[in-house]
Amino acid sequence: MAETSNPTVVIFMGSDSDWPVMGKASQVLDEFGVVHLAIVSSAHRSHDRTVRMARTFTRRGTRVFIAGAGAAAHLAGALAAVTPRPVIGVPLAASPLAGLDSLLSTAQMPGGVPVACTAIGEAGAKNAALLAVQILALSDRRLEARLLAYRDAMEKDVVRKDAALQRQRRGPSRRVGAGRGKLGP
């Protein structure tokens, strides 16, 4: 992760226990060369510090905030309350409710203070970073080209996996889905 006091994206997490999942967002931002920081600061346990930091990074020019939190997840909303920059919330499965609590508390913002909300967990962390890249790419053609290349690589990967499956099904043992009819196309 690039160290900087002027990060383009800041990833906030409610706890260090969120890092194994939120690290996926950082990995994607690294892949796209987006300068970012990851910070542990809670909406509840360190409220004033979180608000202070959000204001400081906004002043310094941070373009997008990502907030990963579990349980009664108010982190994304707390950031959105004090910054005009887009905030993307990632609900995390950190309680016996397995993320449903954080999904609802992140997504159900009252009218006037929007938060973009991704899926629960790793897919959500990855998509939060990709959405941040898409927002940045609005004013960065090179970043947009990298996004298109990323999608192209994803499609090629699907095609490769399908070709492997078809080869396997044509083989002597017909292990995958044997006897369940032909898999298209």
Applying CB under 6 A, the residues found at the interface with ligand RP5 are 14-15, 17-18, 42, 69-71, 92, 94
Please compute, for residue 64, the number of CA atoms within 13 A of its CA located in the half-sphere on the CB side: 22
Instruction: Please give the structure tokens belonging to residue 92.
Output: 């995390």
Yes or no: say if 92 and 33 are a contact pair by the CB < 8 Å rule: no
Closest separation in Å from C-beta 117 to ligand RP5: 15
Closest separation in Å from C-beta 49 to ligand RP5: 14
**Residue closer to ligand RP5 (CB basis): 12 or 57:** 12
Closest separation in Å from C-beta 82 to ligand RP5: 18
Angle at 151 between CA 129 and CA 122, to 5 degrees: 35
Yes or no: say if 92 and 70 are a contact pair by the CB < 8 Å rule: yes
**Residue closer to ligand RP5 (CB basis): 34 or 43:** 43
**Residue closer to ligand RP5 (CB basis): 20 or 61:** 20
**Residue closer to ligand RP5 (CB basis): 97 or 113:** 97
**Residue closer to ligand RP5 (CB basis): 14 or 124:** 14
82 three-state secondary structure: coil
Yes or no: say if 36 and 29 are a contact pair by the CB < 8 Å rule: yes
Closest separation in Å from C-beta 181 to ligand RP5: 44
Closest separation in Å from C-beta 44 to ligand RP5: 6
Yes or no: say if 7 and 57 are a contact pair by the CB < 8 Å rule: yes
Q: In sequence order, what are the residues at sequence separation of 6 or more whose Cβ sits closer than 8 angstroms to the Cβ of residue 1?
A: 26, 30, 36, 37, 38
